[in-house]
Amino acid sequence: MVIEQSRLERVLPTVQKPGRYVGGEYNSVIKDWEAVSIRVCLAYPDIYDLGMSSMGLAILYHTLNALPDVLAERAYLPWTDMIAALRVAGIPLYSLESQHALSDFDIIGFSLPYELLYTNVLEMLDLGGVPLRSIERSAHHPLIIAGGQATFNPEPMAEFIDAFVIGDGEEAIVELVRTYQEMRHEARETQLLALARLPGLYVPRFYQAHYHPDGTIAALERLSPDVPLPVRKRIVSPLPPPPTRLLVPNVDVAHNRATIEIQRGCTRGCRFCHAGMVVRPVRERPVEEVLQAIEEILHATGFEEVGLLSLSSSDYSDIERLVKAISERYRASHLSISLPALRADSFSVALAEAVAKGRHTGFTFAPEAATERLRAVINKPIGTEQMLDVAQEVFERGWRTIKLYFMIGLPGEQPADVQAIADLTLAVYHLGRKVHGRHAQVNVSVNTFVPKPHTPFQWVGLEPAASVREKQALLQRSLRGRGIKLDYSDNEATLLEAALSRGDRRISSVIRRAWELGARFDAWDELRQVSAWTRAFTEAGLTPEFYAHRQRAIDEVFPWEVVSAGVSKAFLLREYQRSLQGETLSDCRELRCHHCGILGSYSDLWSESWRCPQPARN
Q: What is the mean pLDDT of residues 235-247?
A: 94
Indicate if the pLDDT at residue 340 is higher than 90: no
- Residue 32 has φ and ψ, to the nearest 5°, of -70, 115
**So what's the pLDDT on residue 333?**
81
**So what's the pLDDT on residue 615?**
66
Lowest mean pLDDT among 116-120, 536-540, 594-598: 594-598
Reported confidence tier of residue 328, pLDDT bands at 50, 70, 90 = confident
- Give ∠ CA 270-457-540 in degrees, rounded to 5: 135
**From CA 343, how far away is CA 520, in angstroms rounded?**
35
Whether residue 211 sits in one domain with residue 67:
yes
On whether residue 209 sits in a domain, the answer given is yes
Show which of 186, 217, 232 is a domain's final residue. Answer: 232
Show which of 232, 259, 290 is a domain's final residue. Answer: 232
143-201 pLDDT tens trace: 999 999 999 999 999 999 999 999 999 999 999 999 999 999 999 999 999 999 999 99
Reported confidence tier of residue 361, pLDDT bands at 50, 70, 90 = low
309-323 pLDDT tens trace: 999 888 898 988 998
Q: What is the mean pLDDT of residues 441-454?
A: 97
Lowest mean pLDDT among 14-18, 34-38, 348-352, 503-507: 348-352
Chain mean pLDDT for the chain? 93
Residue 191 CB contacts under 8 Å (≥ 6 apart), including other chains: 139, 143, 180, 183, 184
> HSE of 582 in the Cβ direction (CA atoms, 13 Å)?
7
Range of the domain at 408: 360-502
Residue environment code for 275-306, b if the CB has 16+ CB neighbours within 10 A, otherwise e = ebbbbbbbbbbebebbeebbebbbebbebeeb
Q: What is the mean pLDDT of residues 240-247?
A: 94
Nearest alpha carbon to residue 438 among 397, 473, 501, 481: 481
On whether residue 589 sits in a domain, the answer given is no
**So what's the pLDDT on residue 364?**
86
Indicate if the pLDDT at residue 359 is higher than 70: no
Show which of 170, 199, 232 is a domain's final residue. Answer: 232
**So what's the pLDDT on residue 162?**
98
Nearest alpha carbon to residue 443 among 402, 387, 395: 402
On whether residue 152 sits in a domain, the answer given is yes
Lowest mean pLDDT among 88-97, 392-401, 463-472, 486-495: 392-401
**So what's the pLDDT on residue 348?**
78
40-54 pLDDT tens trace: 999 999 999 999 999
Indicate if the pLDDT at residue 344 is higher than 90: no
Who wins on pLDDT, 344 or 244?
244
On whether residue 564 sits in a domain, the answer given is no
45-84 pLDDT tens trace: 999 999 999 999 999 999 999 999 999 999 999 999 999 9
On whether residue 296 sits in a domain, the answer given is no
pTM: 0.95
Indicate if the pLDDT at residue 618 is higher than 50: no
**So what's the pLDDT on residue 616?**
56
Whether residue 189 sits in one domain with residue 50:
yes
Q: What is the DSSP track for 272-294? A: T-HHHHHTPSPEE--HHHHHHHH
Rg (CA), the chain: 24
Whether residue 164 sits in one domain with residue 21:
yes
On whether residue 192 sits in a domain, the answer given is yes
CATH number at residue 65: 3.40.50.280
CATH number at residue 403: 3.30.750.200
On whether residue 19 sits in a domain, the answer given is yes
Reported confidence tier of residue 346, pLDDT bands at 50, 70, 90 = low
If one counts the domains in the chain, the total is 2
Indicate if the pLDDT at residue 546 is higher than 80: yes
On whether residue 470 sits in a domain, the answer given is yes
**So what's the pLDDT on residue 610?**
83
